Chains A and B, each alone.
Chain A
Amino acid sequence: MADTNLYAVTALFRTPDQIIAAAKGVKEAGYTRYDVHTPYPVHGMDKAMGLPETKLGFVTLAAGIMGAVGMISFASWVAAVDYPQVIGGKPYWSWPAFVPVTYEIAVLLAVLLTVGAMIAFFFKFPNISHPLHDTPYMKAVSSDAYGVAVRADDPKFDEKEVRDLLKRLGGEVSPVEFSEEFRTFRPRLFEPRFLLLLAGVALVSAGGGYVTWNKLMFMPPFDWMMMQPKAKPQTVSTFYADGFGMRLPVSGTVARGFTLYPYTITDRADSVGALMVNPLVPTATVLSRGKQKYLTYCSPCHGNAGRGDSRMNGQFPNPPTLHSDKVRQWPDGALFHVMTVGQNVMPSYQYQISREDRWAVVHYVRTLQRALNAQESDLQ
């Protein structure tokens, strides 16, 4: 390293065969810190430079496996554990449906992490400048020439020897020095032009997104998906004689799983309640189902523990506590009756909570009552 200001000695070549030979020559002369620049990928260059197999493939493989395992676990958890729904009559854990998204996330993550790893490890991010930038050498190798640059910090570097070698290989030799600009250049994150660019990109993408999803999608031809020849709810139908888009069930039919409830709000809860028996056994599953429905539908007014002390307290007529002697001595059916048809200002919940779930809520309310009125014997 004779001259500290010298970055590299470069040489330009005119044909791909010359550059392959030059790369071989430089490698065989024992240099290690050199690079080849070509306007397009030259086949056989890796071998000529003696480059080892890239390790990037392992990043891709690891990222792909991560993406696949992560996505199939996520999809399984969502569909089978956290939010189980019956779709198309299939089991909750219907793995074939997860395959496309698993495949796509695996590819996506593999691509993103490969590019990310390339930028972070191989391009030495956040270093965005390089002494070869803005040199005549770089201009030439990005248009019509092929170049070799042997760096001055190579352990074997000797300027005269390198010049001789490159000349012998048939190149037009020229040294590249660190420019003053490169020496003093510090990337500044808060440069006004950069911030302005960021703001511009944000504005354009937000505006573009808004116009696309809120306006464009409702204009022809993109609204064709919405213009289907089908009866929509709450609209006039030209197809049915009576003009209604919504249809009533055929008279005398009952939906599957649905049982007609024979009593009304005018029936007394305790008397009709005595006529019904809870069909469910209070297992852990039933209780947790009851708890889920109770917390969703009942607790906003009745409170989490059934004391009638919810956050709605004072804004509505307060519901009485569920722990009164009257309610505790009601038969199960009476609770079910009140939930089904309503009472005073409480509306009917038969359309929100299914019949089975209402019976599960009854069990849960019983559990709450027992918990707040525990007896000596419960401790044993």
Chain B
Amino acid sequence: MNHHDTTLVPNNELPAGAVRTGWILTALGAALAVLSYLTDGHRAAFNHLIGFTFLASVSVGGLFFVALEYIAGAVWSTPFRRLSEFLAGLLPVTLLFGLPLIPQLHTLFHWSHADAVAADPILQAKAPYLNETFFIVRFAVVLGLWSLFAWLFRRNSMKQDADRDQRHTTTNIKLAAAFIPLFAVTVSVFSMDWLMSLEPHWFSTIFGIYYFTGTAITALAVVTYAMVSLSERGYFFAGVREDHYYSFGALLFGLLSFWAYIAFSQFMLIWYANLPEENFWFIARWQNGWEWVSIALVVLHFWLPYFMLVSRPSKMNTGNLKRSAALLVAVHFLDLYWLAMPTYSKTPVFGYHELAFPLLAVGIVIAGLAVQMKRYNSVPVGDPKLQRGIDFTL
């Protein structure tokens, strides 16, 4: 092959400014979160849920991209796979972040009240699934499985850095084949448990995919942002090219179109059938000010990034890529807010409560990246696909 400049730049630390920002955001977010819990525990619990599902999106989305690269045999993403692995490494942190929500199930979930279930035939019928014991079991199993797979993938990948053994790649391909179908089930279970069951009467068979799309976009947006800003500072390898930037932009563009497709499908089927057990969920999001949040979601989550990324040159423009990625991360918070908060309040609310957990979550992601960047190679130096990834051309 015609080799490009391939001077590897592994084992680097995040820029000091980014590390500082990460820890400051974590500290600030944590302080605000504690304040929020002290002043309004009910509201704080819902925001905690948003922060928790966001962290889950980012970390399990990272794990998904690791598995996807192995199963699809992709080479363009190999030099940057560590970023996804670092995100997947946040899964145990996510588990810890979600743990304080377990004692608060009564605050969050209507179905967890025995008296409400007793008076409600629909909740009684759902009780074999929606009960606290099984919920906690599912929480532990799902997060546990994800953490286990993240640990396995990362262990093999890191080992490869030292021994350069191809067989680790083969093992990870097999792991990916096992993980992808498991992921499809577990991400559906996770989203139904933590977001859909906020309205236990609601039905939507597409909800799991809707949340999955959010996880994939958010994790990819975080990876894209980090990849572009670090490449600009000369990380990974000298000579990251438009071909690499374009690939991230194109996948981001495809996923955000997929999000619009799924979101609209969910809306249209419910709107069309207009059955009372389904449509109340959208009606609640189309009145008392929530309609503006819904419109903002459609515009900011689809139309704006769509036109930001539609053209070929725009997918190679680093500034534009960073802006789009940052927008898509921010708008995932809006999406989760839109999914969870109408259960808490009839009208949209915004204050420091709503800022606390997003700040904390973003802080944890940056700080988590900083800690892992320091400890591990930022490029999988032993991966047999690495050179092809570096040489990748469109």
Contacts and interface: CB of A to CB of B under 8 A. Distances in A.
B350 interface: no
Contacts of B2: 17, 20-21
A97 B272 contact: yes
Interface in B255-312: 264, 267-268, 271-272, 274, 310-312
Contacts of A99: 264, 268
B1 A89 contact: no
Nearest to A61: B310
Contacts of B393: 43-44, 47
A262 interface: no
B313 A100 contact: no
A100 B313 CA distance: 29
Interface in A61-106: 61, 88-90, 96-97, 99-100
B394 interface: yes
B23 to A, nearest CB: 42
Contacts of B264: 96, 99
Contact of A17 (B1, B310, B392): B1
Contacts of A43: 392-394
A96 B267 contact: yes
A96 B312 contact: no
Interface string B10-26: 00000000000000000
A320 interface: no
Interface in B363-394: 392-394
Contacts of B272: 88, 96-97
Contacts of A90: 274
Contact of B268 (A20, A21, A61, A96): A96
A317 interface: no
A53 interface: yes
Contacts of A53: 312-313
Contacts of A46: 394
Residue among A17, A44, A46 with most chain B CB within 10 A:
A44
A209 interface: no
Residue among B2, B311, B312, B392 with most chain A CB within 10 A:
B2
Contacts of A21: 2
A100 B1 CA distance: 45
Interface residues of B, number: 15
A49 B78 CA distance: 27
A57 B394 contact: no
Contacts of B312: 53, 57
Contacts of A61: 310
Contacts of B310: 61
Interface in B1-50: 1-2
A39 to B, nearest CB: 18
A57 B311 contact: yes
Interface in B161-175: none
Contacts of B392: 43
A96 B271 contact: yes
Interface in B288-347: 310-313
Contacts of B268: 96-97, 99-100
Nearest to B273: A88
Given A17-B2, A96-B267, A89 B274 contact: yes
A319 B127 CA distance: 72
Nearest to B268: A96
B394 A44 contact: yes
A38 to B, nearest CB: 14
A190 B215 CA distance: 59
Contacts of B313: 53
A88 B272 CA distance: 8
B314 to A, nearest CB: 12
B270 to A, nearest CB: 10
Contacts of A17: 1-2
B274 A88 contact: yes
A320 to B, nearest CB: 50
A286 to B, nearest CB: 31
A88 B275 CA distance: 11
Interface in A208-264: none
Nearest to B267: A96
A17 B2 CA distance: 6
A88 B268 CA distance: 13
B389 to A, nearest CB: 13
B315 to A, nearest CB: 12
Interface string A27-55: 00000000000000001101100000100
Contacts of A44: 393-394
B297 to A, nearest CB: 16
Contacts of B267: 96
Nearest to A58: B311
Nearest to B242: A47
Nearest to B313: A53
Residue among A21, A46, A96 with most chain B CB within 10 A:
A96
Contacts of A47: 393
A58 to B, nearest CB: 10
Contacts of B394: 43-44, 46
A318 B271 CA distance: 52
A91 to B, nearest CB: 12
Contacts of B271: 96
Nearest to A16: B1
Interface in A293-344: none
B295 to A, nearest CB: 14
Contacts of A20: 2
B300 to A, nearest CB: 19
A260 to B, nearest CB: 31
Interface in B202-216: none
Interface of A: 17, 20-21, 43-44, 46-47, 53, 57, 61, 88-90, 96-97, 99-100
For the complex of A and B, the 3 pairs showing the least CB-CB separation, nearest first, are A44-B393, A43-B393, A96-B268
Given A46-B394, A53-B312, A88-B274, 13 more contacts: A21-B2, A43-B392, A47-B393, A57-B311, A57-B312, A61-B310, A88-B272, A90-B274, A96-B264, A96-B267, A96-B268, A96-B271, A97-B272
22 contacts: A17-B1, A17-B2, A20-B2, A21-B2, A43-B392, A43-B393, A43-B394, A57-B311, A57-B312, A61-B310, A88-B272, A88-B274, A89-B274, A90-B274, A96-B264, A96-B267, A96-B268, A96-B271, A97-B268, A97-B272, A99-B264, A100-B268
